[in-house]
């Protein structure tokens, strides 16, 4: 056992090393293709126009954080993401529970939900901008339409798949209709919401950034839009990288929350190393 664990750990360390090497190689390639080291000054300038220069990109990113210029933009983007995620999840949970428990309503709504889900909802962004203005609300609205369906379908499925035995057992233990909803359907559906958490947080982020990109006065998407307007490719890439970094952080946060809230979920391997 011990030996195998050690092997696993070793290969894991090696894996991380290789992953680091991979990204380093990518950056080195990028650097060599955009700086006049091996290639001529003219062609370096040419490629740099399209792909930016890694050191310049770093400089922009570091400057953003040291000067603090990025924080209000980042804060607004994260705030939009959070709002879109919360509102979308609550709506999805509520509507999902309701439709799953009301067969008539769900039969009535079914074709419309399918249609609305099939529609590329990003094109709603201009309409939301008209309805809610260029502020936070229009981005949240876009994010909500993206998050809602993920959560909704998961909850709907979750409620449909509540074990009939668990349900019958709760009824025999004296649960009323409301108690069934609160103590059986809701926890069961919530676990499905959590399993869709990674996707829905990502979608909320997409909603916020795309919304900003299509029209705003603040946010990381706005920064990217501004830079693109003057062909400042370094800043565009720096913006993309900051967004990626925060997307990763959000995802890690979700993993943490998930691990805390879904302790009751069976894991495949339960043994601990002694």
Partner 1 sequence: MESAAATAASAGDVVPALAFDRVTCAFAGRNGGARYVAVKDASLSVGPGEFVSVVGPTGCGKSTLLNVAAGLLAPSAGRILVDGAPLDGINARAGYMFQSEALMPWRSALANVVAGLEFHHVPRNESETRARDWLRRVGLAGFEERYPHQLSGGMRKRVALAQTLILDPEMLLMDEPFSALDIQTRHLMENELLDLWSADRKSVLFITHDLEEAIALSDRVVVLSAGPETHPLGEFAIDLLRPRDVAEIRLSRRFIELHEAIWRVLKSEVLKGYAQAKR
Residues in contact with partner 1 by the rule CB under 8 A = 163, 165-166, 168-176, 179, 183-184, 187-188, 191, 263-266, 270
Nearer to partner 1, 82 or 170 (CB): 170
CA R_g for the chain: 24
Considering beta carbons, is residue 103 or 229 the nearer one to partner 1? 103
- Nearest 10 degrees: Cα torsion 191, 74, 224, 85: 20
Shorter beta-carbon distance to partner 1: residue 36 or 187:
187
Q: Between 93 and 242, whose beta carbon lies closer to partner 1? A: 93
Query: Is 204 in contact with 146 (CB distance < 8 Å)?
Result: yes
CB of 37 to partner 1, least distance (A): 58
The 3-state DSSP class for residue 160 equals: helix
C-alpha–C-alpha distance, residues 218 and 238, integer Å? 16
Residue 119 vs 261, nearer CB to partner 1: 261
CB 162 within 8 A of CB 185: yes
Torsion (CA) 131, 132, 137, 143 in degrees, nearest 10: 20
Cβ at position 188, least distance to partner 1 in Å = 7
Decide if 159 contacts 102 (C-beta within 8 A): no
Q: Closest separation between CB of residue 239 and partner 1, Å?
A: 41
Least distance from C-beta 200 to partner 1, angstroms? 20
Cα distance between the two ends of the chain = 10
Q: Toward partner 1, which CB reaches closer, 165 or 217?
A: 165
Question: What is the C-alpha separation between 155 and 222, in angstroms, rounded?
Answer: 34
Task: Go through the chain and tell me how many residues it has.
Answer: 274
Least distance in angstroms from the C-beta of 262 to partner 1: 8
Whole-number minimum distance, CB 196 to partner 1, in Å? 17
């Amino acid at each position: 056992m011990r030996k195998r664990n050690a092997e696993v750990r070793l290969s894991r360390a090696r894996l991380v090393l290789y992953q680091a090497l991979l990204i380093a190689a990518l950056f080195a390639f990028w650097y060599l293709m955009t700086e006049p080291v091996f290639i001529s000054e003219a062609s370096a300038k040419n490629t740099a126009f399209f792909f930016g220069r890694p050191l310049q990109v770093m400089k922009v990113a570091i400057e953003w954080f040291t000067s603090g210029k990025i924080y209000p933009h980042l804060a607004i983007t994260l705030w939009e993401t959070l709002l879109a995620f919360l509102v979308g999840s609550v709506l999805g949970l509520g509507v999902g529970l309701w439709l799953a428990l009301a067969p008539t309503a769900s039969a009535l709504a079914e074709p419309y939900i399918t249609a609305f889900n099939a529609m590329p909802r990003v094109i709603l962004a201009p309409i939301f901008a008209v309805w809610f203005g260029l502020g936070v609300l229009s981005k949240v609205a876009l994010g909500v339409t993206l998050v809602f369906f993920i959560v909704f379908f998961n909850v709907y499925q979750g409620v449909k798949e509540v074990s009939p035995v668990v349900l019958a057992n709760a009824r025999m233990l004296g649960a009323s209709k409301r108690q069934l909803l609160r103590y059986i359907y809701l926890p069961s559906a919530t676990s499905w919401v959590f399993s869709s958490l990674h996707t829905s947080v990502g979608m909320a982020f997409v909603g916020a950034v795309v919304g900003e990109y299509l029209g705003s006065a603040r946010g990381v998407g706005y920064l990217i839009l501004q830079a693109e307007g003057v062909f400042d490719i370094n800043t565009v890439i720096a913006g993309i990288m900051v967004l990626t970094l925060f997307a990763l952080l959000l995802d890690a946060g979700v993993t943490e929350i998930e691990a805390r809230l879904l302790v009751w979920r069976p894991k495949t391997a339960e043994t601990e190393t002694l």
